[in-house]
Amino acid sequence: MRGAVWAARQLDLLYPRSDDQGAQWRRVEPHGLVCKAGVWYLVAYCQMRRDFRTFRVSRIEDLVVRDETTRPRPGFNLQAYWEQSRRQYEEQTMPFALVLRVAPAARRRTWNAEGTVLEEEADGSLVVRIDTESAQAAIAYALALGAAATVLDPPEVRDAVAAAARSIARLYAD
């Protein structure tokens, strides 16, 4: 891959799909390799998406170096692109607030989480705010607590947890 970047050769990458439905081949024009916190990324113009994309190198399942060469895209600045991508990523990973009512028996299981006790109820339950990195992480956290926690907010997480619980109940109904 490094050689293809230096030689300005196109690549075919087998890369996981964003919808988690396997992987697909993409033809790309590599523009640079970037390392952040020990993790390498390939910045390339994706012919399928007709735009620049950032590919995590460790997620590339296979690659083929093509004979076709590539030229730098007019006006493309790798440093500016990477800086903008980094800012967008940081904005997307702002804490996602999950508000739960946690039964007394499960209070200890929330101590290690990045959270804030909002209220302590008369029965010993806690209303807590847990900061997670995304809605998916919030759903997983709530499901891990099982029946010992009730999602109070946000509604889309509450609905997703309820749907997952119904699905699990159907699996065990048989």
Task: Give the C-alpha distances (Å, rounded to integers) separating 5 from 54, 68, 84, 159.
Answer: 14, 12, 21, 46
Q: H or E element: which one contains 33?
A: strand 23-36
Average pLDDT along the chain: 90
Q: What is the pLDDT of residue 150?
A: 95
* pLDDT band at 113; cut points 50, 70, 90: low
**Residue ranges of the alpha helices (H) in 66-111?**
78-92
Kindly list the domain boundaries of the chain, sorted by start residue.
2-92, 96-173
Is it the case that residue 83 has pLDDT exceeding 80? yes
Is it the case that residue 117 has pLDDT exceeding 90? no
Lowest mean pLDDT among 35-44, 70-79, 101-110: 101-110
Domain over 2-92 is classified CATH 2.60.120: no
Q: Which whole number is the average pLDDT over 157-163? A: 96
* pLDDT band at 76; cut points 50, 70, 90: very high
Please check whether the two domains, 2-92 and 96-173, share a CATH topology: no
Q: What is the pLDDT of residues 99-111, one digit of tens each?
A: 999 999 888 776 5
Task: Indicate the CATH number for domain 96-173.
Answer: 3.30.70
**How far apart are alpha carbons 93 and 83 in whole angstroms?**
16
